[in-house]
Structure formats: C-alpha cells, structure tokens
Amino acid sequence: MTSDAGAPGRSGAHGVAGALERLAASADFARAFTLTVFATLVGTHLIVAVAGIVTLRTIIAGLCVVAIGILVARREEISFLRLVPTTLLMFTTWAFASVFWSTDAFSSFWRWTAMAAVALLAVTIGHVRDTLQTVRALGDVLRAALSVSLVLEVLSGIIFDTPLRFLGIQGNIASFGPIQGIFGTRNMLGFVAVVALITFAVEMRTHSVRPGVAVFSLSLGAALGLLSASPTVLVLAVVVGAATAVLTLVRAVPAAQRTRVQWTVGAVVAVASVVVYLQRARIIDLLGAKDDLAMRSNLWAMARYFSARRPVQGWGWFGSWDVSEQPFASINQLLSQRHTTALNAYVDVQLQLGWVGVLLVCAFGGLALVRSWVDASQRRSVVYAWTPLMVITLAVTSVFESVALFGLGWLLLVLCAVRAGQSRGWRERLGAGGPPATGTIPTLPPG
C-alpha cells in the first residue's frame, strides 16, 4: 500500500530529472549557455558598475553549476580523459599550491577559485560547441557590446555632453577619443575591438551572417578600435594582419612543402622578434607612447625587484592585484600610484607564481598556438584560423596588459587551448576515450 502510494511521486521525480537532463544535453541550451557566458565576461565592468561585484560573482557561480550539469548530462559523449589540457591542469595546480605560501591565503584561495570557475566555463563551451558555433555566439555578444558602447559614448559625449562616471565613460567621442565604452579603459576597449574584428572577419568569410551585418560589424569594430586611441590597437593590428597573411600563404602551399615553409616562418618570426626588441625604443617613439612606456618600465622594474625576493615560487596567486596585500601595496606606495595589475601578464605571473609559473603559462599558451596553427594550416575551412589568431592576440596583448590572466582574456585563452587540444593533443593521437567531442548535440524535441 505504502509502496503503491509513493510510486507516482517517484515516477514524477524521475520524469522531471529526465526532462532536466535532456534540456541540459540539448543544442538549444548549449547555445543559450554559451551566449550567457560570453555576455557575462564581456560585460564584466558594466555588471559591476551597475549591480556590484556580488552580482557578478553570483552569476558566475550559477553558470558554474549549470556547466557541471551540462557535463554530467553529456557524460556519455565526452571523454573525461581529454576534458582539460594537461598544461592547464599543471598551471592551475601550481597556482593553487601558491595559496599556501601567499601573504593572504584566504584572499588568494578565492582569487584562485574565480580563475578556476572561468576555466570551467571555457572548458564546458569547448566541449559543447564547435569552433563555428563558438565564433557565432561570440560575434553576437561582441556586436551587442560594441553597439551599446557606441550608443553610450554618443549620449555622453554629444547629446548630454557629460561624463558617465559610474561607467568610466569620459565622453570624449566628439573630440575623436579616447573612448572607453562599457569596458572601463581605452586599452580594454581596444583589445575587445581587435578580438571582435577577428571574429567578425571569420563570420564574413564563412558566410555565417548576412553581408550587411558583416559590413556593419567590421565597421563598428574598426571605428571603436580607432576611437579608443589605444597604442596597443596599432600593434595588434600589425601583428594579427601579418599572422593572417602568413597563415594564408601557408595554407596555399602544397602539403609536401608545408613543413619546410612552417620552419622558415618560425625562423623569420624569431629574427623579427629580436629586431623589434632591439628597436623597441624607436618603435615606441613612433607610436607616441614614450611617457606611457616610462610609467610601465618603472612598474615592471619594481615588480621584478620584488620577484627577485621569491624567484622560484612567487608571492602567491591573486590574478588582479589585491592592493591592500603585499607586495602590491609596497609597489604602489613606492611608485605613488595605484595599479591593479603589472600591465604585463608575463611580469604578473613572475611576480605571483615565480619562474615556475612563467614556464608553465608559456608552455600552456605556446602549445595552444602551435597546435591551433598547424591545425589551421591543414584544414580547408577558414573558421579554424580563429583559434591561432586569438592566441596570437592574447600573447601580444599580454606584453601591455594582464587581461589574459583573468576575465574575458582568460576565458578565451582556455577555450583556445581546449579547442587546440581536441585536434592535436597527445590523447587524441592515442585515440583515448573514444571519438573527440565535436559539439554536435541534439536539439530539443518539439514542445
């Protein structure tokens, strides 16, 4: 009697659980999840300015719960052996270990948790959406974000002629910049604009959007990139343009000669890097960023001074600086400034995780670049060029900013590493765990 009475309830519970699992495993839900993640990370500054940091943390925590649910729902389709790149595991493990020798273990642990949370979101996207689907979702979000930025800049600088201080918008669009949009700083806007241009170009080449939308998107990204007046935009444009031209050349070379051409390209890049480093002062003068470089040089010198106190293990992982903690408080006090990063991802990693961290992050990004570049040079579709170009953008930006260590930059870096590892990782060559995840998942049934 009792068993019969309880059966309908259990059946209903199982029915709800099954429906939720089917929803979590559907393509429609995966697309909505991807759009939400990109919108959250692209709009981080806007969310914090309008609703506060607690709201942002709550959203990311909720998305992590959803991400775990998606991975569980697709457990039969995903090979957990190839779920996370080995270099990513090594880097995040070292960052976690640094919590134990950090100057503030509690704060450091929660900063590491934030980094791991964003990595989880990126890993999930990498396994539930293919490259083209990822590009389309990011393109939609960036179009909206840049459009909102332009509207707010016009309202602030032309219609109302007053700064929107709570968003960091100074209202300089009437004097052709610098503008910040919804991203807080002109350098961040410049970085997002370059990411958008790469994404929009791939959308156009793959005919993923209508020609009118493609032209509008590229024009919007180029205009905001120029109006940001960020010195890094010009550098990024030159490097990414050169990388695109070289990749196009390599793709056009017959397969029998491609390896030799790849090594030649690598040698040319190495020589060019040395020349640029030796002529860096002249290049900076041409960019009109001499004063900015002086400020950055002082900051980097001070960061390296403190790095030398703990050269191997660093001071502990914080990501963006907790300005009340050491050594960040001392650096800002000695410089009479208030920096929240070292304005260089490599210097930041050296300061926080020592030379071990630098080697790990270089291995992480370097393997992602090599794997994705070789993959893009051999695949017919131009969509595969998005991954190596994005890694190159992050690598170059990291010389001027630390965006690759947290937020949107970290999300894109992990996503690119996951994408590259799926096609060129050692586990793929071994054929471990069945076929690789393709991102092809069933749509929701009607009704």
Q: Answer yes or no: is 79 within a domain.
A: yes
Task: Determine how many CB atoms are found less than 10 A away from the CB of residue 317.
Answer: 23
User: Computed from CA positions of residues 122, 125, 131, 136, in that sequence, does the dihedral angle turn out positive or negative?
Assistant: negative
User: Computed from CA positions of residues 382, 409, 155, 224, in that sequence, does the dihedral angle turn out positive or negative?
Assistant: negative
Given a cut of 90, whether residue 423 has pLDDT beyond it is: no
pTM of structure? 0.88
For position 10, what pLDDT does the model report? 55
What is the number of structural domains in the chain?
Answer: 1
For position 154, what pLDDT does the model report? 92
75-79, 297-301, 390-394, 442-446: least confident range: 442-446
Q: Answer yes or no: is 38 within a domain.
A: yes
- Give whichever of 115-119, 184-188, 264-268, 395-399 has the largest mean pLDDT: 115-119
User: Computed from CA positions of residues 109, 111, 117, 122, in that sequence, does the dihedral angle turn out positive or negative?
Assistant: negative
Query: Cis omega before residue 178 (within 30°)?
Result: yes
Nearest to 137 by CA among 324, 347, 415: 415
Nearest to 117 by CA among 136, 139, 95: 95
- b/e 389-402 (16+ beta carbons within 10 angstroms → b): bbbbbbbbbbebbb
CA distance 7 to 4: 5
Given a cut of 50, whether residue 440 has pLDDT beyond it is: no
Q: Answer yes or no: is 135 within a domain.
A: no
Nearest to 206 by CA among 198, 373, 392: 198
Q: Answer yes or no: is 185 within a domain.
A: no
Q: Answer yes or no: is 165 within a domain.
A: no
In which band, very low, low, confident or very high, does the pLDDT at 223 lie, cut at 50, 70 and 90? very high
Given a cut of 80, whether residue 258 has pLDDT beyond it is: no
Q: Answer yes or no: is 370 within a domain.
A: yes
110-119, 136-145, 281-290: least confident range: 281-290
**Percentage of the chain surpassing pLDDT 70?**
87
CA distance 433 to 8: 38
CA distance 93 to 99: 10
Give per-residue pLDDT as tens, 108-128.
Answer: 999 999 999 999 999 999 988
In which band, very low, low, confident or very high, does the pLDDT at 446 lie, cut at 50, 70 and 90? very low
In which band, very low, low, confident or very high, does the pLDDT at 149 lie, cut at 50, 70 and 90? very high
In which band, very low, low, confident or very high, does the pLDDT at 253 lie, cut at 50, 70 and 90? confident
Q: Answer yes or no: is 280 within a domain.
A: no
In which band, very low, low, confident or very high, does the pLDDT at 38 lie, cut at 50, 70 and 90? very high
CA 33 to chain centre: 17
For position 13, what pLDDT does the model report? 58
Give per-residue pLDDT as tens, 19-29.
Answer: 777 777 788 88
Q: Answer yes or no: is 371 within a domain.
A: yes
At residue 218, what is the residue type?
A: L
SS (H, E, C) the chain: CHHHHHHHHHHHHHHHHHHHHHHHCCHHHHHHHHHHHHHHHHCHHHHHHHHCHHHHHHHHHHHHHHHHHHHHHCCCCCCHHHCCCHHHHHHHHHHHHHHHHCCCHHHHHHHHHHHHHHHHHHHHHHHHCCHHHHHHHHHHHHHHHHHHHHHHHHHHHHHCCCCEHHHCECCCHHHCCCCCHHHCCHHHHHHHHHHHHHHHHHHHHCCCCCHHHHHHHHHHHHHHHHHCCCHHHHHHHHHHHHHHHHHHHHHHCCHHHHHHHHHHHHHHHHHHHHHHHHCHHHHHHHHCCHHHHHHHHHHHHHHHHHHCCCCCCCCCCCCCCCCCCCCHHHHHHHHCCCCCCCCCHHHHHHHHHHHHHHHHHHHHHHHHHHHHHHHHHHCCCHHHHHHHHHHHHHHHHCCCCCHHHCHHHHHHHHHHHHHHHHHHCHHHHHCCCCCCCCCCCCCCCCC
Interhelix angle 386-397/186-205, rounded to 10 degrees, is: 170
Q: Give the domain extent around 354.
A: 17-128+294-447
For position 22, what pLDDT does the model report? 76
